Amino acid sequence: MSDQREDVLYRAEKAFQVYKKITPQKRAEFLYAIAEQIDLLGDALIQAAMEETCLPEPRLKNERGRTTNQLKSFAKLLEAGDWLQASIDTGDPERKPAPKPDLRKMLYPVGPVVVFGASNFPLAFSTAGGDTASALASGCTVVVKSHPAHPRTSNLVANAIRAALQQCNLHEDIFQEVTDTSIEAGQQLVKHPLTKAVAFTGSYQGGKALFDIANQREEPIPVFAEMGSINPVVVLPGIVRENKTLPPTLASSILLGAGQFCTNPGLLITIDTDGLAPFLHKLSAEIAQAAPGTMLHTGIAASYKHKKSEALKQKGVLRLVEGIAETTDRQGAPGLALVDAHNFIANTVLKEEVFGPYSLIVKCENEKQLLAVIESLKGQLTATIFGLPEELPDYQDVVDSLHARCGRLIFNGVPTGVEVTKAMHHGGPFPSSTDSRFTSVGTDAIYRFVRPVCYQDFPEDLLPLELKNKNELNILRCVNGTWTHNAIETFNLQQA
Amino acid sequence: MSDQREDVLYRAEKAFQVYKKITPQKRAEFLYAIAEQIDLLGDALIQAAMEETCLPEPRLKNERGRTTNQLKSFAKLLEAGDWLQASIDTGDPERKPAPKPDLRKMLYPVGPVVVFGASNFPLAFSTAGGDTASALASGCTVVVKSHPAHPRTSNLVANAIRAALQQCNLHEDIFQEVTDTSIEAGQQLVKHPLTKAVAFTGSYQGGKALFDIANQREEPIPVFAEMGSINPVVVLPGIVRENKTLPPTLASSILLGAGQFCTNPGLLITIDTDGLAPFLHKLSAEIAQAAPGTMLHTGIAASYKHKKSEALKQKGVLRLVEGIAETTDRQGAPGLALVDAHNFIANTVLKEEVFGPYSLIVKCENEKQLLAVIESLKGQLTATIFGLPEELPDYQDVVDSLHARCGRLIFNGVPTGVEVTKAMHHGGPFPSSTDSRFTSVGTDAIYRFVRPVCYQDFPEDLLPLELKNKNELNILRCVNGTWTHNAIETFNLQQA
């Protein structure tokens, strides 16, 4: 197997030498073609994904739409070209004491990228998901290691990508799928000297192991591991007392997709107040009446039950909801528990993610304790505040403290549901992800797979189109300190 | 000592909580004040630096100008505000099936940054150099570990920064200097849990050690280590045959500052051609007549002599220049040697940096061998091609191969001299730096110390000025996919 896997990256590198040179327009065409080919798979894809993941049909159809929209949004990004961060500082041969050189830089793809498919998004974060789409958009070639929980789904999508390569008459090794799902196979891919970056969505253990391997290589490479978090939700007293639609809203976010989202609200933080008892009663009732969710695979279900039971055993933790009993070993009964701030702060187990439909409520005596709870947390993908708009300004310290610990700060909305746009940031401080500077959702995800290269005093003829004076692609460039779509007038150059 | 050092970072973190909230205008004022205070040090600073580093007065005056200009260029960046990469995607409460959230993100400082002063730039890459300037500009607080080779210079500059803090009425711990110059002291600073990023300029051994420590922390942090390189210079046959001004140009770049630049041209690659013998003769004569340079300290001089003598001992290496003998143990005699492509490719020692006024010429038989030599190289800060403009298009493979291995690609200019502008990129693939995505020179260096945070559905009142609808700072923002300085019209929002 080792030889075959090595071969995969030699082929990916060879294809990269070709792929990095094709025009952005051609790359966009390829991304559109993948979306088209995925749509052509029709119901067969949804059926396979349903059978393998037990996720419901509407969710999977929605996820398919998200997947093809991601591909199209990167295609549009390439067509616009503004993303390249092209910068030009024109030279001045007459400057004293030394001539000023002409400097022009833009972003270039780094090389073959290894993508690890995620179990909880069999389409949107798997074979042709956001990682693959952004890497292919950047001009990198991609080797996907399929997730063992949905091999047929992965293979169907891989076929669609291969069909798109053929349709666009592109090198067949621009995209490759590795179906050996062993941990060792994945590690070998990360260790391979020709691999230049890694994208991963999954557990802390998995992501951190790959991160360590990548940093111990002779040439360390970046690993963009999105490792989940407990996504603290602060519920301020005013909205607790109001006690209107928030309990069912929170419950449905906790239960969504059997809680199998990296943005699942695993921690609710409140201040003890008059209305808290009825509020918690209402929330508990919502969770208690929910049927056990069927999880992605028995391994995840077993891990959920184990982690939940460990959490419930911790000092001072009070179980609020028993949950309807599971009838298969792939199910996970929803859970809700309560702990006071003192016990929460002192306990590291309670700060770990319980991946599934479970949430822990931390009851604080006052705002000072609320702050101490937040300050005891590590990095998070998201942090949320529910409150009345008029009470929010009184909690500026809470806002600041959450801001310092998360990648996305939400007001009066649930953390589940990650909008795919440019302004999204899905990546928080460690350990929620390995590199908080980059997002894995939205078009800015492309920046994970590029690096700047600067040309000094290069002849106009040999510059890439994007950096030539004329700017015939009409892209946004920073020219002598000003962002503009304008061409550089040779006349002005001579005057400068 | 350990307690005192811990204290330094607790104080840096405390100051960060204040500093991160002041306006960009106030931060700009602070940077201008540092430049002013450095100028006020007058000749005392230049004298101290001359005594400690043996660098000549004109060079140090020039470097002082570069240092204060760097500070001012970051101040201007803050005043303009366009650097923040502010992105706004407005929401749509009416969207079906789910409302579209309002998302707004921009860049925020990460926290206390530890800066290691470099020996070869006592001003521009030391206490108030590019690393400190960019970190302070980003809103991070800074702890500088002075370089042991120029403690008085460092201390004078540190005093200037402290005076600027006082002048601007800012928290005294926004900048701190650590004068314990032991290796352990530096390592403790990197290990401290409150340190959020590290900037380093120096040797591979030093930078890689810090990188490893940072990645083995419970919370790994980025280390931006600029570790030097051999900066290959390809000299094409046409310009060799021409044999005009190139030999003295190359010689003066090799000898500049006793060769103590990370961009020193340590490797010249040529193809055997009619004019090569006279070309090399001329180059050798230039190097041979140069007096031994006085180096930054005896340690660097000893290391230079050791590495040069090791390089000269390698198989097939022919010494071209003996060099005028050194008269003190702080001097380093210039050197030039020749090797064929075959011996160069097979030898790893010859690919290591010899920090000082020494260069190795690799003679190739043809273009194919030239390519093989380039392909045997690791990552480089710079790569250079000297040639006649009309011969360059015939060497596209050479251009591509150098491009893939460097951060800056130069045509017909020497690699020494790193222009401080936005379009500069000073940071190449590993091992020339630990993170090729970021530059340590020019205004884009600020991006090393920030991360995006996204606000979802936040009340307008509580958003930072930069993300409010009105855009009263008039900064460049990407609004619904279009880069613009315009405000967001509430009217349009309601229509959207």
Element (H, E) at B373: helix B367-375
Q: Would you state the pLDDT for residue A496?
A: 44
Chain A residues with CB-CB distance to B19 below 8 A: none
Q: Would you state the pLDDT for residue B496?
A: 43
CA distance B408 to B262: 13
Instruction: With beta carbons less than 8 A apart as the criterion, state whether A229 and A262 touch.
Output: yes
Confidence at B495, pLDDT banded by 50, 70, 90: very low
CA distance B4 to B9: 9
By Cβ distance, the residue of A108, A110, A419 closest to B101 is A419
Q: Which of A453, A474, A478 to mutate to test the interface with B (most CBs of B within 10 A)?
A: A453
Query: Residues B198-203: what's their mean pLDDT?
Result: 96
One-letter amino acid at B353 equals E
Residues forming a β-bridge with A359? A336
Query: Residues B174-182: what's their mean pLDDT?
Result: 94
Confidence at A495, pLDDT banded by 50, 70, 90: very low
Nearest C-alpha of chain A: how many angstroms from B94? 15
Residues A455-475 have pLDDT tens digits of: 999 999 999 999 999 999 999
Percent of chain B with pLDDT over 90: 94
Tell whether the model's pLDDT for residue B94 goes beyond 70.
Answer: yes
3-state helix, strand, coil split of chain B in percent (to 5) is 45, 20, 35
3-state helix, strand, coil split of chain A in percent (to 5) is 45, 20, 35
> Do the chains contact at A410 and B456, CB–CB below 8 Å?
yes
> Do the chains contact at B399 and A425, CB–CB below 8 Å?
no
Chain B residues with CB-CB distance to A433 below 8 A: none
CA distance A385 to A408: 11
- Write out the two tokens for B146: 């002075």
> Do the chains contact at A413 and B101, CB–CB below 8 Å?
yes
Tell whether the model's pLDDT for residue A489 goes beyond 90.
Answer: no
Query: Residues A295-307: what's their mean pLDDT?
Result: 96
Nearest C-alpha of chain A: how many angstroms from B387? 11
The chain-wide mean pLDDT, for chain A, equals 95
Chain A residues with CB-CB distance to B88 below 8 A: 423
Q: Would you state the pLDDT for residue B228?
A: 82
B-chain residue closest to A452, CA distance: B437
> Do the chains contact at B103 and A413, CB–CB below 8 Å?
no
Chain A residues with CB-CB distance to B481 below 8 A: 80, 422
Confidence at A431, pLDDT banded by 50, 70, 90: very high
Chain A residues with CB-CB distance to B425 below 8 A: 105, 452-454
The catalytic residue among A29, A140, A177, A262 is: A262
Residues A172-222 have pLDDT tens digits of: 999 999 999 899 999 999 999 999 999 999 999 999 999 999 999 999 999
B-chain residue closest to A216, CA distance: B212
Q: Would you state the pLDDT for residue A1?
A: 45
Query: Residues A228-235: what's their mean pLDDT?
Result: 95
> Do the chains contact at A430 and B220, CB–CB below 8 Å?
yes
Chain B residues with CB-CB distance to A103 below 8 A: 419, 421, 423-424
Tell whether the model's pLDDT for residue A5 goes beyond 90.
Answer: no
By Cβ distance, the residue of B422, B424, B454 closest to A425 is B454
> Do the chains contact at B424 and A454, CB–CB below 8 Å?
yes
CA distance B238 to B246: 12
CA distance A258 to A332: 8
Tell whether the model's pLDDT for residue A493 goes beyond 70.
Answer: no
By Cβ distance, the residue of A103, A412, A423 closest to B104 is A423
Nearest C-alpha of chain A: how many angstroms from B101? 8
A-chain residue closest to B103, CA distance: A423
Chain B residues with CB-CB distance to A434 below 8 A: 220
> Do the chains contact at A82 and B389, CB–CB below 8 Å?
no
Backbone angles phi and psi of A226, in degrees to 5: -105, 110
Instruction: With beta carbons less than 8 A apart as the criterion, state whether B445 and B439 touch.
Output: yes
> CA nearest A123: which of A73, A66, A175, A74?
A66
Q: Which of A422, A443, A450 to mutate to test the interface with B (most CBs of B within 10 A)?
A: A422
Nearest C-alpha of chain A: how many angstroms from B82? 9
Residues forming a β-bridge with A342? none
Query: Residues A218-233: what's their mean pLDDT?
Result: 96
By Cβ distance, the residue of B89, B403, B422 closest to A481 is B422
Chain A residues with CB-CB distance to B100 below 8 A: 419
Q: How far apart are the first and last CA of chain B?
A: 60
Tell whether the model's pLDDT for residue B303 goes beyond 80.
Answer: yes
Chain A residues with CB-CB distance to B417 below 8 A: 98, 101
Q: Would you state the pLDDT for residue B492?
A: 53
Residues A305-325 have pLDDT tens digits of: 999 999 999 999 999 998 898
Residues B458-485 have pLDDT tens digits of: 999 999 999 999 999 999 999 999 999 9
Instruction: With beta carbons less than 8 A apart as the criterion, state whether B141 and B173 touch.
Output: yes
> Do the chains contact at A453 and B481, CB–CB below 8 Å?
no
Query: Residues B214-243: what's their mean pLDDT?
Result: 96
Tell whether the model's pLDDT for residue A273 goes beyond 70.
Answer: yes
> Do the chains contact at A454 and B212, CB–CB below 8 Å?
no
Chain B residues with CB-CB distance to A220 below 8 A: 211, 215, 430, 434
Instruction: With beta carbons less than 8 A apart as the criterion, state whether B189 and B157 touch.
Output: no
Angle at CA of residue A119, ends A260 and A437, nearest 5°: 80
Contacts of B268 (CB under 8 A, 6+ apart): B232, B233, B235, B250, B359, B360, B361, B362
Regarding an ipTM greater than 0.90, the answer is yes
Tell whether the model's pLDDT for residue B187 goes beyond 50.
Answer: yes
The catalytic residue among B168, B262, B364, B406 is: B262
> CA nearest A82: which of B123, B56, B477?
B477
- Write out the two tokens for A344: 């929460």
Residues B166-177 have pLDDT tens digits of: 999 999 999 999
Nearest C-alpha of chain A: how many angstroms from B321? 29
> Do the chains contact at A430 and B406, CB–CB below 8 Å?
no
Structural domains of chain B, ranges and CATH numbers in brackets: 2-227+438-449 (3.40.605.10), 232-411 (3.40.309.10)
Q: Reply yes or no on whether A184 is catalytic.
A: no
By Cβ distance, the residue of B392, B435, B476 closest to A459 is B392
Query: Residues B40-48: what's their mean pLDDT?
Result: 98
B-chain residue closest to A430, CA distance: B219
Percent of chain A with pLDDT over 90: 94
CA distance A51 to A264: 23
Half-sphere exposure of A374 (CA within 13 A, CB side): 28
B-chain residue closest to A395, CA distance: B462
> CA nearest B176: which of B112, B110, B111?
B112
Chain A residues with CB-CB distance to B104 below 8 A: 423
Higher pLDDT, A242 or B65: B65
Q: Would you state the pLDDT for residue B181?
A: 84
Nearest C-alpha of chain B: how many angstroms from A50? 21
Q: Reply yes or no on whether A36 is catalytic.
A: no
Nearest C-alpha of chain A: how many angstroms from B445? 12
Tell whether the model's pLDDT for residue B394 goes beyond 70.
Answer: yes
By Cβ distance, the residue of A411, A419, A456 closest to B409 is A456
Tell whether the model's pLDDT for residue B408 goes beyond 80.
Answer: yes
Q: Would you state the pLDDT for residue B493?
A: 54
By Cβ distance, the residue of B82, B389, B435 closest to A483 is B82
> Do the chains contact at A452 and B437, CB–CB below 8 Å?
yes
Q: Would you state the pLDDT for residue A3?
A: 59
Between chain A and chain B, the number of residue pairs with CB atoms below 8 A apart is 178
Confidence at A97, pLDDT banded by 50, 70, 90: confident
Nearest C-alpha of chain A: how many angstroms from B103? 6
Chain A residues with CB-CB distance to B451 below 8 A: 407, 429, 436-437
> CA nearest A287: which of A315, A259, A309, A318?
A259
Query: Burial, A277: exposed, middle or buried (Cβ in 10 Å; 0-12, 13-18, 19+)?
Result: exposed
> Do the chains contact at A458 and B409, CB–CB below 8 Å?
yes
> Do the chains contact at A419 and B100, CB–CB below 8 Å?
yes
Q: Would you state the pLDDT for residue A6?
A: 60
Nearest C-alpha of chain A: how many angstroms from B409? 5
One-letter amino acid at A406 equals C
